[in-house]
């Protein structure tokens, strides 16, 4: 059997899905200012494909480090880019959005770096003592649901910036934007995701500090 080449790895089926995610995400960025409906559909496709690449990797035995990094980088880039637009749409709340981007990027970078430094095989392998993170990463249904709520919350905020879209009358409330209802429904899952980011960053900091302490003690001895 011939050796697998780097080019073949790049074009694994799950990685092709990853490239499609990148393309659809970039397309949605250009459409964001003036085409909210098209943006929502195309950005949504990019997010939904995130659930497909892992399935294809396992089905065809085409897991790869490149694919794992491509998946995480695409996740972080698409969400951060959408939040960048929210800073434009809601300039008053830009500092809050900036903090949310910083938390998302910092927690995931520290988590992956700490996993590699401590010799872990995957950033999704979490000890059971960290029950919330273990639930988040060990159950695909939980991971998919929370990530979906997170993205839908941001998409709802994006659509809310277009007041001409989708209103209906809600008892005791009156005229209501559909995006506002979606945001409220997704809020618990969204808050869970932010809490998971904080716990993830704290765990990564402890792992790194423990490794540093171990190295310092080895040098003393």
- Catalytic residue numbers? 75
* Residues counted in the chain: 221
Q: What is the 3-state secondary structure (H, E, C) of 144-155?
A: HHHHHHHHHHHH
Q: Which of 145, 151, 154, 152 is nearest to 97 (CA)?
A: 154
**CA-based radius of gyration for the chain:** 20
Q: Which two tokens stand for residue 21?
A: 């995610």
CA distance 138 to 190: 18
The secondary structure element, H or E, covering residue 80 is helix 65-89
Q: Which two tokens stand for residue 123?
A: 């950033």
CA distance 155 to 146: 14
């Amino acid at each position: 059997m011939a050796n697998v080449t780097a080019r073949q790895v790049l074009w694994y089926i799950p990685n092709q899905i990853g490239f499609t995610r990148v393309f659809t995400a970039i397309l949605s960025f250009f459409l964001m200012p003036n085409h909210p409906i098209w943006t929502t559909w195309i950005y949504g496709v990019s997010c939904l494909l995130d659930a497909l690449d892992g399935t294809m990797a396992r089905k065809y035995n085409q897991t790869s480090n490149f694919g794992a990094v491509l998946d995480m980088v695409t996740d972080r880039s698409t969400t951060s880019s959408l939040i960048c637009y929210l800073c434009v749409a809601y300039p008053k709340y830009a500092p809050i959005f900036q903090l949310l981007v910083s938390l998302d990027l910092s927690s995931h970078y520290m988590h992956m770096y700490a996993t590699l430094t401590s010799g872990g095989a995957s950033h999704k392998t979490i000890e059971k003592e960290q029950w919330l993170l273990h639930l988040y990463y060990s159950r695909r249904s939980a991971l998919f649901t929370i990530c979906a709520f997170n993205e839908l919350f941001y998409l709802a905020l994006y659509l809310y910036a277009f007041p001409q879209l989708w209103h209906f009358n809600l008892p005791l409330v009156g005229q209501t934007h559909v995006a506002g209802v979606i945001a409220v429904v997704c809020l618990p899952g969204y808050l869970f995701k932010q809490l998971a980011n904080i716990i993830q960053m704290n765990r990564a900091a402890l792992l790194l500090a423990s490794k540093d302490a171990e190295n310092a003690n080895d040098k003393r001895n």
